[in-house]
Homo-oligomer: A and B are copies of this chain.
Amino acid sequence: MVDEYKMVIVVRADLKMSKGKMAAQASHAAVNCALAAKKRDPESLERWMNNAYPKIVLKAKDEAELFLIKSFADAAGLLNSVVTDAGRTEIAPGSVTCLGIGPDASSKIDKVTGELPIF
């Protein structure tokens, strides 16, 4: 089986963001990860983009779980980015909303996020 390259975006479920808010926050994570990969790991970025950029959005139950997943991603050497909301709408300024991971090989990312449910 080919080891597909993907990006995972872990979103806090407890903030109960609207669809539009959540899409904006996830987009922020994705842009951070893509631009960081362009600088630090252009080969992964290219492999991901050459395969229709799979992006999977997963649920963290709260901020503590999000940071736990981040610590696993750091330990695994996965590029990742925490998004803190500017707080213009809906939620308190400075709230951590989501975590982007990758793009990287699915097998590597799944070891870190494999237990989280799909959003």
Q: Chain A interface (Cβ within 8 Å of chain B)?
A: 7, 9, 11, 18-31, 34-35, 38, 52-58, 86, 88, 118-119
Q: Distance in Å from the Cβ of A60 to the closest Cβ of chain B?
A: 13
Q: Distance in Å from the Cβ of A88 to the closest Cβ of chain B?
A: 8
Q: How many copies does the complex hold?
A: 2
The 5 closest A-B CB pairs, nearest first, are A20-B119, A27-B30, A23-B26, A20-B57, A24-B55
Please name the residue on chain B nearest to A118 by beta carbon: B20
Contact partner, A86, options B27, B52, B119, Cβ 8 Å: B52
Please name the residue on chain B nearest to A17 by beta carbon: B19
Among A7, A22, A23, find the residue whose CB has the most chain B CB atoms closer than 10 A.
A23
Interfacial chain B residues near A52, Cβ < 8 Å = 86
